[in-house]
């Protein structure tokens, strides 16, 4: 089985987001980056499990600058066979990123292209569906389970308040959510081996910007908390009704 | 024209469809144009969608729309938008929308914003949409640079209003491809409102100490008519189902009321809940970080406070 896992980078989850002095941009100084958790914990690990069961290869792919190589190497350390980085230095929008991934994957006969449910930076859940459309592939978003029997895939996806089970024939694309697999920690041997695995750098194709981030803002700070006497829950109910007007 | 995809949930138009149409109507007002709705499948009640702001409802029926296949739905919405001359297409940012929005943007090569939380505005001459980024730790103003634009709206972002009367319903005939996916099982729990749509949420953390104690959470949720949620370690320990896990790596929610009991308020937890309108925190540790993000706080033992609150809610509701 030939499997492709698309991985992005995001600020480490404890990062406090600060704006630059002009308020127009995110202040990235001192921000630590990690592999997007959905890509690492669920998409990549499920791809590795399928390869371990049925044979084949797992390729990790990132669209981004050379700084991202450390994140890509982590994917190799966890167990991917090889890696590709499409060399894009600027921050680009989802459609641009999807176009790069689609042009790379076109004609390469990947059976499954894995994405994460969303990047925890831009929270869009768009890139996977876009790639699927560019390549005319079936796509299942928020997949929590994937079983493969030859080219027959059975995918369970999360829906509001329940789940749906879908049968589809590979090639397919999907986005992985919690439940798909269990996080794996790279070991020393994996880390050593990752240094020798191939990381191909590919030139991007031209594609116009369809969106642009004009500026950022921060949510309003909460005023200080109003403490309620633990003995007097009638008072809390009164405040929720009369002051907050939520019940 | 602004086209709203009005999704039917289990054979009915509910909150999701009403929010989308309201939002589309407000977007149309910003642009000085009309708001239409698109219905896929023969769901009763399409004419009532006028109440939420749709002047005309276009209805497409086809056997290919029966099981949900994102590729087929995308063709339907894209072709309808082209035929009708829509310049902005609005979808919900829910499980259906997340399967369609990206596909649609790619098919139309349209600029898109997924998970918008405010009505678009014209700013510096650009059509601009605001969305939460970094799991709600910041907001981005995104300019859409293409003639056709696609927006998905995060749930609970606008309060539903009546903005019109009855709509005329017109059938639209489209040539749709056969689905490549087959839905073999569709299972939705009845009873509680699904978490992403819930207006009231009661959530428990490690402080609840085990699944056998969860009655204190569910009793309060029942009294309020709220949905239950939990912190990540709670779901990881299988005390509660995974779909209840809220936060940066779980479900992101924005209910009117979020009550958190026995949750410390780690930054990854806050990231998924800090867009809630009102937050109540119950914790025995006055230093718990969650109090800094709360509107109302109760310092005390949740096993005493929650039953008392449940009784007070019951009394209030009569
Ligand atoms: C990459 C990453 C992603 C993460 N994503 C998420 C996420 O999406 N969501 C999430 O929730 N977490 C997430 N976490 C975990 C997060 O960092 C915290 O570990 C977690 O939220 C803590 O859960 P908790 O508050 O239930 O437990 P604890 O931190 O153990 O807090 C328990 C609280 O209960 C209180 N308590 C105990 N007994 C009582 C009592 N009898 N009455 C009242 N109060 C009591 C204690 O004072 C304490 O404040 C993530 C972590 C990482 C590293
Ligand atoms: N720059 C990128 N390079 C590779 N994959 C990406 C990139 N950005 C997003 N993805 C993939 O697309 C998924 C969804 O991202 P998003 O649409 O930004 O929420 C991620 O979980 C990744 O699998």
CB A161 to CB B195 under 8 A?
A: yes
In short, whether A63's Cβ falls inside 6 Å of ligand 2 is yes
Residue B110 shares a structural domain with residue B199: no
Mean pLDDT, to the nearest integer, of B122-151? 96
Q: Are residues B110 and B71 in the same domain?
A: yes
Number of domains in chain B: 2
The yes-or-no verdict on residue B89 having pLDDT over 90 is yes
Please indicate, yes or no, whether residues B127 and B238 belong to a single structural domain of this protein: no
Domains of chain A, residue spans: 2-219
What mean pLDDT do residues B240-245 have? 92
A209 to chain B, closest Cα gap in Å: 8
**Does ligand 1 lie within 6 Å of residue B237's CB atom?**
no
Q: Based on the domain organization, do B246 and B282 belong to the same domain? A: yes
pTM of the model: 0.95
> Are B149 and B7 part of one and the same domain?
yes
Do residue B74 and residue B136 come from a single domain? yes
CATH at residue B272: 3.40.50.1220
**CB-CB: which of A26, A212, A237 is closest to B316?**
A237
In a shared domain, residues B128 and B229: no
- Which ligand has the shortest distance to the CA of A121? 2
The closest-lying atom of ligand 1 relative to the alpha carbon of residue B267 is 17
Mean pLDDT of A11-33: 92
To the nearest whole number, what is the mean pLDDT of chain B?
96
Q: Whose Cα sits closest to atom 11 in ligand 1?
A: B231
Is A170 in contact with A56 (CB distance < 8 Å)? Answer: no
B152-161 pLDDT tens trace: 999 999 999 9
Whether A240 and B278 lie within 8 Å, measured CB to CB: yes
- Cα–Cα dist A165/A169, whole Å: 14
Question: Residue B84 belongs to a domain with what CATH number?
Answer: 3.40.50.620
Band of pLDDT at residue A72, cut at 50, 70 and 90 = very high
Instruction: Please tell me if the CB atom of residue A86 comes closer than 6 angstroms to any atom of ligand 2.
Output: no
Asked if residue B234 and residue B113 are part of one domain, the reply reads no
B208 plus B313 within the same structural domain: yes
Does residue B118 sit within a domain? Answer: yes
Model confidence pLDDT, tens digit, residues A185-243: 999 999 999 999 999 999 999 999 999 999 999 988 888 999 999 999 999 999 999 99
pLDDT of A56 higher than 80 = yes
* Closest CA–CA distance from residue B51 to any residue of chain A (Å): 24
- What is the arithmetic mean of pLDDT over B34-51? 96
**What is the bridge-based pairing of β-strands A226-227 and B296-299?**
parallel
Whether residues B69 and A138 touch (CB distance < 8 A) is answered with yes
* Listed residues B109, B136, B171: the one ending a domain: B171
Picking from B136, B171, B206, the residue at the C-terminal end of a domain is B171
Q: Are A218 and B130 in contact (CB under 8 A)?
A: no
**Chain B residues with beta carbon closer than 8 angstroms to that of A122:** 133, 140
Average pLDDT, chain A: 96
Do both B242 and B96 map to the same domain? Answer: no
Q: Let me know whether B154 and B13 are in one domain.
A: yes
Query: If DSSP codes are grouped into helix, strand and coil, which group holds residue B108?
Result: helix
Tell me, yes or no, whether B206 lies in a domain. yes
Residue owning the nearest CA to atom 21 of ligand 2: A116
Give the H/E segment covering residue B4: strand B2-5
Residue B238, chain A, CB below 8 Å: the answer is no
- Looking at the DSSP bridge assignments, the partners of residue A215 are B141
Q: Which residues in chain A have Cβ-Cβ distances shorter than 8 Å to B252?
A: 123
Domain contains B186? no
- In tens, the pLDDT along B172-207 reads 999 999 999 999 999 987 777 889 889 999 999 999
Q: Which domain holds residue B209?
A: 195-317
Flag whether B184 is in a domain: no
> Least CB-CB distance to B257: which of A123, A138, A246?
A246
pLDDT value, residue B11: 87
CB-based contact A227 B299, cutoff 8 Å: yes
Residues of chain B contacting A94 with CB distance shorter than 8 Å = 102, 105, 112, 114
For residue B122, is it within any domain? yes
Q: Does residue B187 belong to any structural domain of this protein?
A: no
B190 in a structural domain: no
User: For A2-219, which CATH class?
Assistant: alpha beta
CB contact under 8 A, A133 and B102: yes
- Residue B125: which residues within 8 A CB-CB, separation 6 or more? none
A32 touches chain B (CB under 8 A): no
């Amino acid at each position: 089985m030939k499997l492709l896992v698309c991985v992005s980078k995001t600020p480490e989850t404890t990062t406090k987001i600060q704006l630059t002095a002009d308020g127009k941009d995110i202040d990235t100084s001192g921000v630590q980056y990690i592999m997007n958790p959905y890509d690492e914990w669920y998409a990549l690990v499920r791809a590795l499990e399928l390869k371990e069961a049925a044979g084949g290869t797992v390729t990790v792919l990132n669209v981004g600058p050379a700084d991202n190589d450390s994140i890509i190497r982590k994917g190799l350390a966890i167990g991917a066979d090889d890696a590709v980085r499409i060399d894009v230095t600027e921050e680009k929008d989802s459609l641009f990123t999807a176009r790069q991934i689609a042009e790379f994957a076109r004609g390469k006969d990947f059976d499954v292209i894995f994405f994460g449910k969303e990047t925890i930076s831009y929270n869009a859940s768009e890139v996977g569906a876009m790639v699927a459309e560019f390549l005319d592939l079936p796509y299942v978003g928020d997949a929590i389970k994937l079983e493969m029997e030859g080219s027959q895939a059975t995918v369970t996806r999360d829906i509001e308040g329940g789940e749906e089970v879908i049968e589809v024939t590979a090639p397919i694309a999907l986005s992985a959510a919690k439940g798909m697999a269990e996080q794996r920690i790279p070991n020393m041997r994996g880390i050593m081996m990752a240094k020798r695995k191939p990381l191909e750098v590919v030139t991007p194709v031209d594609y116009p910007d369809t969106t642009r981030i004009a500026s950022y803002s921060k949510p309003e700070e909460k005023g200080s908390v109003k403490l309620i006497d633990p003995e007097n829950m009638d008072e809390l109910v009164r405040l929720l009704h009369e002051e907050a007007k939520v019940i | 024209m602004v086209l709203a995809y009005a999704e039917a949930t289990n054979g009915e138009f509910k909150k999701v469809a009403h929010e989308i149409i309201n939002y589309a109507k407000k977007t149309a007002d910003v642009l000085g144009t009309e708001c239409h709705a698109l219905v896929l499948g023969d769901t009763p009640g399409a004419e009532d969608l006028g109440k939420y702001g749709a002047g005309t409802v276009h209805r497409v029926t086809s056997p290919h729309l029966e099981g949900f296949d994102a590729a087929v739905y995308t063709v339907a919405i894209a072709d309808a938008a082209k035929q009708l001359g829509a310049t902005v297409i609005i979808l919900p940012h829910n499980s259906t929308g997340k399967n369609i929005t990206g596909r649609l943007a790619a098919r139309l090569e349209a600029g898109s914003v997924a998970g918008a939380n405010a009505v678009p505005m014209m700013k510096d001459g650009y059509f601009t949409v605001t969305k939460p980024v970094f799991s709600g730790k910041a907001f981005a103003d995104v300019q859409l640079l293409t003639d056709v634009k696609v927006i998905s709206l995060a749930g609970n972002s606008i309060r539903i209003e009546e903005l019109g009367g009855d709509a005329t319903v017109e059938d639209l005939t489209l040539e749709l491809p056969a689905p490549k996916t087959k839905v073999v099982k569709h299972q939705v729990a009845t009873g509680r409102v699904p978490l992403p749509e819930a207006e009231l949420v009661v959530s428990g953390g490690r402080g609840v100490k085990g699944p056998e104690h969860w009655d204190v959470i569910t009793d309060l949720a029942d009294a309020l008519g709220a949905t239950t949620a939990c912190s990540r370690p709670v779901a990881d320990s299988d005390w509660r189902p995974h779909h209840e896990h809220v936060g940066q790596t779980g479900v992101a929610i924005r209910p009117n009321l979020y009550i958190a009991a026995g949750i410390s308020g780690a930054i990854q937890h806050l990231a998924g809940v800090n867009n809630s309108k009102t937050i109540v925190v119950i914790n025995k540790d006055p230093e718990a970080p969650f109090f800094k993000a709360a509107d109302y706080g109760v310092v005390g033992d949740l096993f005493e406070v929650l039953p008392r609150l449940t009784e007070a809610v019951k009394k209030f509701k009569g």
